[in-house]
Amino acid sequence: MGNEHTEYSGDIDVPVNAIQIINPQVVSKLPDGIIIKNIAAHGASFWTRTARLDAELDGEKKQYFLKTSFRDRGRGMMSGEFASMSLIYAAKPDLIPKLPDLHTFPAMLAELHRAGTSLDGRFGFAYTTYHGNTLIKHGWSNTWEGYFTRTTRELLRLEQEAQGLHQQLIELTGPFLEKVVPRLLRPLETGGRTIKPCLIHGDLWFGNASMDRDSELPIIFDAASFYAHNEYDLGVWRATWNKIGKPYITEYHRSFPVSPPEEDHDDRNALYATLIVEMKKLVDKFPGDYEAWEDARNSKA
């Protein structure tokens, strides 16, 4: 396996016998002649149960990582993650867990973003994925602004549905989606500027990235991918709790330059972090919409 994790001790709704009894369908996907010696809880997961399979094949010891869930949510979660990781592997096979190296990890992520691009130039994803326990139906959009607005509106609705009415969030949602998002994202694709939809990980906090013990190269896992503006993957690196922090953003942009307008970079990063406190700062900072910004820019020309 080459990696060590701490077992999560919180409540998980997946039955524990999912990692106590090995499903024959799992064994059927392993090499012919494999002998399973042991199965034990392994890894940290909030929404699934994970285990390590100790096995033997032709006298050689083997280890496999097993992630289990159940019901329709589990099937959707696993299908989305499998599709995400398969595409990442196809684009950058040596990226697919100690914290990833500050220099090699951002550079390899930039390579993934360059290699994995949307075939038809649209933003979105053909598969349903999960962000934590939240189902995300991506669909497709011709512009990054269109995709981001549509999915963010739905995520904010789900947040209200799950957590109850939040007055500040209600007050911020309109200005945020109608003024801030167009102001910060539309300039990426207007005025002669363009961005390519890049294959991103989608949930790149420190718990989903590490270093392989054997190769000493960074690896990522538990993806919730879609085709997006490449800088979206860096939004979670803004969070103070994330051990993959702002120094990684700086290193990343040594390999993948900041998208123009460069002066909007930090505000776009705050936008992609999508925290209520950041929403309020952005709404206060950009009371005007995209058209007001464009008029002001043209008046200086």
Q: Are residues 102 and 222 in the same domain?
A: yes
φ, ψ dihedrals at 222, nearest 5°: 50, 45
Q: Are residues 125 and 90 in the same domain?
A: yes
Helix (H, G, I), strand (E, B) or coil at 212: coil
- Return the CA Rg of the chain: 21
The boundaries of the domain holding residue 49 are: 16-69
CB distance 283 to 179 below 8 Å: yes
How does residue 285 score in pLDDT terms, banded at 50, 70 and 90?
confident
Q: Is residue 108 situated within a structural domain?
A: yes
How does residue 278 score in pLDDT terms, banded at 50, 70 and 90?
low
Rounded Cα gap, residues 266 and 20, in angstroms: 47
Q: Is residue 101 situated within a structural domain?
A: yes
Tens of pLDDT along 36-84? 888 877 665 656 788 788 888 888 888 887 777 777 777 777 777 777 8
Q: Are residues 65 and 82 in the same domain?
A: no
Task: Output b/e per residue, 166-187; b: 16+ Cβ within 10 A.
Answer: eeebeebbebbbebbbbbbbbb
Q: Are residues 166 and 253 in the same domain?
A: yes
Q: Are residues 24 and 136 in the same domain?
A: no
| Single-letter code of the amino acid located at 98 | K
| CA 119 vs CA 101, 126, 227, 264: distances in Å | 31, 12, 10, 27
The total number of structural domains that make up the chain = 2
Q: Is residue 6 situated within a structural domain?
A: no
Q: Is residue 238 situated within a structural domain?
A: yes
Q: Which residue has the tokens 């200086």?
A: 300
Q: Over range 141-164, report the average pLDDT.
A: 89
Rounded Cα gap, residues 279 and 120, in angstroms: 32
Q: What is the CATH number of the domain that holds 118?
A: 3.90.1200.10
Q: Is residue 9 situated within a structural domain?
A: no
pLDDT at 43: 63
- End residue of a domain, out of 5, 37, 69: 69
Q: Are residues 63 and 79 in the same domain?
A: no
Q: Are residues 288 and 232 in the same domain?
A: yes
